[in-house]
């Protein structure tokens, strides 16, 4: 998963880039230490990615 997020972040810009980079950090942390707290942080952050994309005019769905 972190590799796919990084690939998406490589093409993003602005606020979307910032949120995708943060998502990559959360995913990498969760992958190395799969605690409930790390998982919750990663999954909750996905809302920030969705909102940044929506604000940039590129609405996405991560379901």
CA distance from start to end of the chain: 14
Q: What is the pLDDT of residues 3-50, one digit of tens each?
A: 776 677 677 778 888 888 888 888 889 899 989 998 888 888 888 988
User: What's the sign of the alpha-carbon dihedral 50, 14, 58, 30?
Assistant: negative
Q: What is the pTM of this model?
A: 0.65
Closest CA to 45 of 3, 5, 11, 4: 5
Residue with tokens 């996905």: 46
């Amino acid at each position: 998963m972190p590799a796919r997020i990084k690939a998406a972040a490589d093409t993003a810009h602005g606020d979307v880039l910032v949120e995708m980079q943060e998502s990559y950090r959360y995913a990498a942390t969760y992958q190395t230490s799969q605690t409930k707290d790390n998982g919750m942080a990663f999954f909750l952050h996905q809302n920030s990615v969705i909102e940044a994309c929506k604000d940039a005019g590129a609405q996405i769905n991560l379901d």
